[in-house]
Structure 1
Amino acid sequence: MKSRPAVIVLAAGRGSRFQGIQHKLTQLVGTSSVLATTLVNALAAELPVLVVTTEPFAELASHHVATRDIVLLPAAGSAASQGLGMGYSIAAGVAARSDASGWLILPADMPLVQPSTLRSVARVLDHHPVAYAQHQGKRGHPVGFSAELYSELVRLTGDEGARRLVARYPCKEIEVDDPGVLLDIDTVDDLSHVRATYAMSPFQNSV
């Protein structure tokens, strides 16, 4: 069976800009947490899903994916995590799914990205080294990378993530009718906006 692109859900960040009492990934969107909602929608795309996270979120992730589909990193803010950043999270996820035909990078704080969007980006990775979803001409997530970029992806580190690769290689823009590709949760105000958008969307009936 031909391998498929894997969705790498990044859930290891500190979320320092979010000033709520609890971590942003544990906040509710509807009746589920931000992380759970992101995972349910990722799994609905019917692609392999891997979660890169830390110990505090491992149990929550395990309610949705198997233990073998969870990569644990040192807790954000700990001495062991110094200098790792988003780039290292991407590298760890890609290395754990080295047999995939590509990888879709999806931040865990983007719970409204639709399954159809993930599938649309995945479909073009056989023909383009880099692809990303955009809505009304604005670049969003997920960002997809083809298997030919494996050796560069697994060497990523630091907080820059994969921006250098996106800048270096030709990118395919996938225009989608999905405002969720632009809605990440960095602040309490972002969370309020996501909740309001969710309340008016089909997601409230699917998670």
Structure 2
Amino acid sequence: MLAAGRGRRFDASGQQDKLLQKLADGLSVAQHSAQNLLAVMPHSVAMLRPDTPVLADQLQALGIDCLVCHDADAGMANSLKHALRATADSAGWLIALADMPAVHLSTMMQLFDALQAGAGIAVPVYQGRRGNPVGFAHQYLSQLLYLQGDVGARSLLHSDLVTQVTVDDPGIHEDIDTPDALMLHLAAMGKPGA
């Protein structure tokens, strides 16, 4: 789970970490994002910046191994590559984003099942649009380790080898990038803005 971004769109000053914002049940955005991932992949890791001890404590309490990426500010690819190197013996990876708490457990399971059935790359699709998280089989490790900057694995997702997994989950398109996005999410959960 990638959780090493600065979240500048949420708070340019850096005072409020979007991943620590509380949702209706009192859990943070990152904790919600982690729960369904852990239900499908009990051995999960989160990539963090070194200055996020509260986030690390929250995720470790759920059972996620937390890794620190000291050069995360150079782009998402650095965090992703750090996680991949640390888990290079895995059969594959479900790459989730910590700011996407609305992704359904069923979506995680469908992506995992697609990888288990032989998909090299598995991408969720809702109403004709791709979203996150994305699954990669081990055969893509070398290509993933070659990624640069802040584009993540987008370049690999434009190949004909992608297995599109149709899901009934608008959460694959919903991230908490701005305070307005947080308010919309809270409203959808039935809690007025905090």
Q: Same fold (TM over 0.5)?
A: yes
Alignment-derived partner of residue 98 in structure 2: 108
Alignment-derived partner of residue 44 in structure 2: 49
Q: Please give the alpha-carbon distance, in whole angstroms, between the structure 1 residues aligned to 2:41 and 2:157.
A: 25
The one-letter code of the counterpart of 1:70 is C
Alignment-derived partner of residue 31 in structure 2: 36
TM-score normalised over the length of structure 2: 0.87
Give 5+ residue unaligned stretches, structure 2. none
Alignment partner of 1:22 is 2:24: no
Q: Please give the alpha-carbon distance, in whole angstroms, between the structure 2 residues aligned to 1:96 and 1:37.
A: 24
User: In structure 2, which of residues 145, 159, 163 is the aligned counterpart of residue 172 of structure 1?
Assistant: 163
CA gap of 1:155–1:195, structure 2 versus 1, over 3 A, is same
Q: Check whether the contact 1:45–1:116 (CA below 8 A) recurs between aligned residues.
A: no
Alignment partner of 1:71 is 2:64: no
Q: Secondary structure at the match of 2:33?
A: helix
Q: Please give the alpha-carbon distance, in whole angstroms, between the structure 2 residues aligned to 1:169 and 1:93.
A: 26
User: In structure 1, which of residues 10, 17, 21 is the aligned counterpart of residue 2 of structure 2?
Assistant: 10
Q: Check whether the contact 2:110–2:165 (CA below 8 A) recurs between aligned residues.
A: yes
Q: Secondary structure at the match of 2:165?
A: strand
TM-score normalised over the length of structure 1: 0.82
Q: Please give the alpha-carbon distance, in whole angstroms, between the structure 1 residues aligned to 2:160 and 2:94.
A: 16
User: In structure 2, which of residues 167, 178, 190 is the aligned counterpart of residue 187 of structure 1?
Assistant: 178
User: In structure 1, which of residues 83, 87, 91 is the aligned counterpart of residue 81 of structure 2?
Assistant: 91
User: In structure 1, which of residues 133, 149, 152 is the aligned counterpart of residue 143 of structure 2?
Assistant: 152
Alignment-derived partner of residue 112 in structure 2: 122
Q: Please give the alpha-carbon distance, in whole angstroms, between the structure 1 residues aligned to 2:43 and 2:95.
A: 12
RMSD (Å) for aligned C-alpha atoms = 1.9
User: In structure 2, which of residues 120, 123, 126 is the aligned counterpart of residue 132 of structure 1?
Assistant: 123
The one-letter code of the counterpart of 1:53 is L
